[in-house]
Structure formats: C-alpha cells, structure tokens
Amino acid sequence: MRQKRNTRIVATLGPASSSPDQIRALWEAGADVFRLNFSHGSHADHLERFKEIRRLEAELGRPIAILADLQGPKLRLGVFKAGKVALKPGQAFRLDLSREPGDINRAPLPHPEILSALTPGSDLLLDDGKVRLRVESCGPDFAETVVVVAGPLSDRKGVNVPDAVIPLSALTEKDRRDLAFALELGIDWIALSFVQRPEDVEEARALIGDRARILSKLEKPSAIDRLDEIVALSDAVMVARGDLGVELPPEDVPGLQKRIIRSCRAAGKPVVVATQMLESMIEAPTPTRAEASDVATAVFAGADAVMLSAESASGRYPVEAVTMMSRIISRVESDPNYLDGLGSGCAKPEANDADAISAAVCQVTGILSVAAIVAYTTSGFTTLRIARERPASPILSLTPNAATARHVALAWGVHSVHTEDAANVEDMVAKASGIATREGFTEGGKPLVIIAGMPFGTAGSTNLLRIVRVPRASL
C-alpha cells in the first residue's frame, strides 16, 4: 500500500492500540513508523507489540520501522509530610539531600547532580513549570531559593533546570536495560532522551554500534546551544516540544522548531516534530483548528515526520487521530506553493558524487514530469541525500538490506522496498520498472529517473543517473 504523501506519521502504541486489529487499523489509516514508549509498559508488553508489527510487515510485504523511545533520567522531588503544600510568592524554600519528608519550608531533592550544577540566579521549574524557584544561594547538598511563581506542590513532581548542564548521563540503568532488550529484539530506531551535549550521543553510539539508528530528542536548551554538533552525530532528530516548552518560554519554541528543521535538512538527517500535535483528540473525535494549523506548520516547514503520542497510545480515538493527521498532511502537500517553500530551506549540495547526482535528479524532476525517482541504495545514504533535496517526484528506494529498508521509511517522500540488488545495468532498469509498476508509481508515458552506484552493491558508490521510459506493455 503506497502512501501518496511525503511527510511520514509516527504513531505511538499503548493500551488503546496494541491488538493486532488496532495495529493494522493504524497502519491502514496512515502510520508509517510505530513508536514503543519505554517510559510505560513492561518488556513483555513491548515484545508483543513488536511481534505484531513484524507479523503485519511480513503479511503486507512492506518495511515497517519501529522506534524504541528510552525514558531517560527523571528528576523529581521527594515526598511531603502532608502529601502536598501550597507555596506563596516570594517565600523562602529550601531544597536539600535530606530524606526527611518536606513541608512548607523545604523539600527533599534526591539529585546531588542538580545541586552541584546550580549557581545563584539559576531557575528551577517544578511540576512542568507550574512552580518556579530562583536560587539565592547553594552548595553541594542544598539550595536556598525564593518562590517566583507560586502554586501547589505535591509528592515526586518533576524538576527541570533550564539554564544549566547537569552532569548526568542520558542513559540511566533502566535505559541501559531497555536498550539491551530493544537491540536484542532488532528495533530499527532508538530515541535517546535527555540529550544535553554531543557526548551523550557518542555514549549511546558506543553501546548501539550499527545495530540500530539513533534519533536524538532535543528537549534541553543546552542541546540547542550545540545543535549542529548533535545533528551531525545523530541519524535523526526529534523536536521534543513538550520539554522544550517547559524549559524555554513558549514563544521561543516555534522559532527553534524551524531552526532545528533547517539544521537537519542541511545535514540530510530526518527530523520528527512531536508533542501535543492533536492533543484534544485524546478525548475528542476531531482536533481544534489550532492543532490542525500546528501540524500544517510542521509540514510546510519541511519536517520528515510528525508524531502522535497519547493520541494514539491511550486516547479514545487512535485511528481517527492518524486518519486526521494524514488528511492534514495531504491537504498541505496539495498546496501549489508547498514545494516552492521547501526549496528555500535546503543547503547547497556538498562536493561529493552522491550530492552531485541528487542535485541533478532534482533538476531533472523540475524539468520533466517524472513518475518516480528510483534510488538503489545499500546503506540508505543515497536515498536520504535525495530526500534532503525535497524533489517534485516521489522517491522509490530499493535496497537489498532489510534494516536499511526500515530505516529510510522515516524519511520524507520515501517509499521503501526490500529487494535483491541489480546484477547489471539491464537488470537495474528491468527491476526498477517492474517494482515501480507493481507499487503504483508508473503513469502512462512518464519516465523514471534511476540512480545507482557501480559496481552494484558497493556502498557509497553513487555515480549513475538514467532516465527510463517504462514500456506501456508493463504498465
């Protein structure tokens, strides 16, 4: 089943969407990638979902990517004697390492790494920013603060430190166990939470190697300070707007979203926009107009994918949410100015064979009415470089590597097929023509543009571009 839209949809599985029938319904509604959220559920739960996705993949004969989202460090307060307190503006409030339950004057903060990173003037955001404290004085085991934004505070509420790099690994012991489990299953993508600096990605890469691709979640202001370095080390990036919106002023997030998308486009790395995209559809069968506009903004900006979280995992209308997201994307992509806007966001091609060929392909598709760009690839690099250019024609990616076929399913405009590599140029043309016809890409009289590397099957050897007209007998 071919999706006739370019922007991909990532759908999170959960209690509302874990049965075989529900997973199939989400796929048929338009989900391209399934996300397993390791912040919730057991390994047994994720194993069953993984098996069902792979069963569906085998039945359909279509590569389906699976994304394992690691929880990352969760920084929280301790407990209060009365279960909760109500802080007032301007009052003094102490945070320390004592395990004694808190009261109106203090609370336990069992994270010495946070206290060690604070300086006078630092802000602490509690309970997703509903309460804000400013540090007056601090030491390795305490922080004396004043309440800037008051409100109720209860047991184990989250703590965010927006203006400090916390000396903490992005991988907790739980994450390491979850990662080992996910890699053993054969998960395609690992989403790395709490990325603060490039070293966090390097640490994950040392554990993962080439067994999966890394998607770095940008949810900390410190990560934005080293954005291009993190993008360069990652295989893909997620704009995690929920946490960014807690640690940064909400008005800053739209601009940062565009900046991150531009950085990923320049590097040729897929970028996913996530969090609260159709939030009201957790409870309602239709989104707000503002939510529809939010999805449209990400699509107009050139995101490779948009993501549903609770909407598809635990909401009342998971299939309807995917269907609505697909409809919004399709409507945006039918706008006559859509591709023109995307062209302005692309960086200049680099001085290598793959980029030269990719740029030439885009010129061809801008001149001719092309049915599809057929890209032979081993590692997926060629396919991603073409997708980076946001061409006017769909991309049919052919690869002998099943893992690669799943990896590129996250990328803009790519329809991925797992197939044997071509033996020679004649076989290349025949195979491309046959698969393009079978997958619904050929239209009478329109040519295919085929790109490949010779010798065939050699990664990084893209050096051939051929325009082919499919014989009408095979249409």
Task: Give the separation between CA 46 and CA 42, rounded to whole angstroms.
Answer: 6
Place of tokens 């893209």: 462
Question: Can 5 be counted among the known catalytic residues?
Answer: no
Place of tokens 């995992």: 313
Active-site annotation holder among 35, 220, 269, 431: 35
Question: Can 35 be counted among the known catalytic residues?
Answer: yes
Alpha-carbon distance values, 41 to 9, 13, 258, 386 (Å): 22, 10, 33, 37
Alpha-carbon distance values, 25 to 18, 21, 30, 322 (Å): 11, 6, 9, 10
Task: Give the separation between CA 60 and CA 66, rounded to whole angstroms.
Answer: 16
For 219: left if phi > 0, alpha if psi spans -120 to 50, otherwise beta; the answer is alpha
Alpha-carbon distance values, 198 to 107, 195, 207, 268 (Å): 33, 8, 15, 18
Active-site annotation holder among 275, 323, 377, 383: 275
Strand runs (DSSP E) across 344-388, as ranges?
A: 372-376
Q: 34 - beta bridge partners?
A: 11, 66
Q: Per the structure block, which two tokens stand in for 153? A: 């505070």
Query: Distance between alpha carbon 433 and the CA centroid of its chain, in Å?
Result: 32
Alpha-carbon distance values, 335 to 300, 328, 330, 332, 442 (Å): 10, 11, 9, 5, 23
Question: Can 62 be counted among the known catalytic residues?
Answer: no
> What residues contact 62, with CB distance under 8 A and at least 6 apart?
1
**Quick one: three-class SS letters along 17-66?**
CCCHHHHHHHHHHCCCEEEEECCCCCHHHHHHHHHHHHHHHHHHCCCCEE
How many CB atoms lie under 10 A from the CB of residue 152? 12
Are 121 and 134 in contact by the 8 Å Cβ rule? The answer is yes
Active-site annotation holder among 8, 132, 217, 262: 217
> What residues contact 412, with CB distance under 8 A and at least 6 apart?
6, 7, 8, 270, 302, 303, 304, 305, 387, 390
Place of tokens 């007998």: 473
Active-site annotation holder among 24, 54, 74, 76: 76
> What residues contact 42, with CB distance under 8 A and at least 6 apart?
none
Active site residues: 35, 76, 217, 275
